[in-house]
Amino acid sequence: MRVSKQRAWWAMAAAVGVAIGGLVYRLPAEEPADRKDAPPARGANADAAVKKAILEDARQVYEMNQKRYRALEGPVVVEDTYLWSVRWLEAELDLAADAAAKTAALKGHLERMREVEKMAANQAKAGQGRQSDAVAGHYHRTRAELWLARGEIK
């Protein structure tokens, strides 16, 4: 009887270990981009370099997500796409030297939100996505229009 309890305990411990290992270990969904990080700079150049790196990372994540959605690897995740577009926008606004650059950044975000709205609506109509994502796409596109009209994000 004692041997059975020990075996059961060890079997359960092994099962828990396998389950935890399965949760922790994940295969990468895509190959990471080759990054060529510049050596750390100092002063004003460092600030500009960091801001440009942030902008590039946000743009790259957004575009990788869009590429995946266009390849029909899953429905558009509107909130995720919106979040990365806003991060891209914020980085552009942070680097904008004048009002024209800020307007261009806001217009770029609006165009991205129009695309997301269209994709989410098409997927909802085809039964491949949720109607709530289509409504969220409309919401985010409308907000982008408001931000452009105001000339700022709030």
Asked whether the predicted pLDDT for residue 67 surpasses 80, the reply is yes
Q: How confident is the model at residue 45 (pLDDT cuts 50, 70, 90)?
A: confident
Cβ neighbours for 21, distance < 8 A, ≥ 6 positions apart: none
Q: Span 41-150: which CATH code?
A: 1.20.1440
Which pTM value belongs to this model? 0.70
Question: What are the DSSP calls for the chain, one per residue?
Answer: -HHHHHHHHHHHHHHHHHHHHHHH----SSPPP---PPPP--THHHHHHHHHHHHHHHHHHHHHHHHHHHTTSS---HHHHHHHHHHHHHHHHHH--SHHHHHHHHHHHHHHHHHHHHHHHHHHHTTSS-HHHHHHHHHHHHHHHHHHHHTS--
**Distance (Å, rounded) from C-alpha 19 to C-alpha 60?**
33
Asked whether the predicted pLDDT for residue 40 surpasses 60, the reply is no
Q: How confident is the model at residue 76 (pLDDT cuts 50, 70, 90)?
A: confident
User: Can you say how many angstroms the Cα of residue 62 is from the centroid of all Cα atoms in its chain?
Assistant: 6
Domain boundaries, the chain: 41-150
Sign of CA dihedral 87, 89, 93, 97: positive
Q: Rounded mean pLDDT of 3-21? A: 62
Asked whether the predicted pLDDT for residue 77 surpasses 80, the reply is yes
**Distance (Å, rounded) from C-alpha 30 to C-alpha 63?**
13
Closest of 64, 150, 66 to residue 106, by C-alpha: 150
Could you tell me which residue, 126 or 19, shows the higher pLDDT? 126
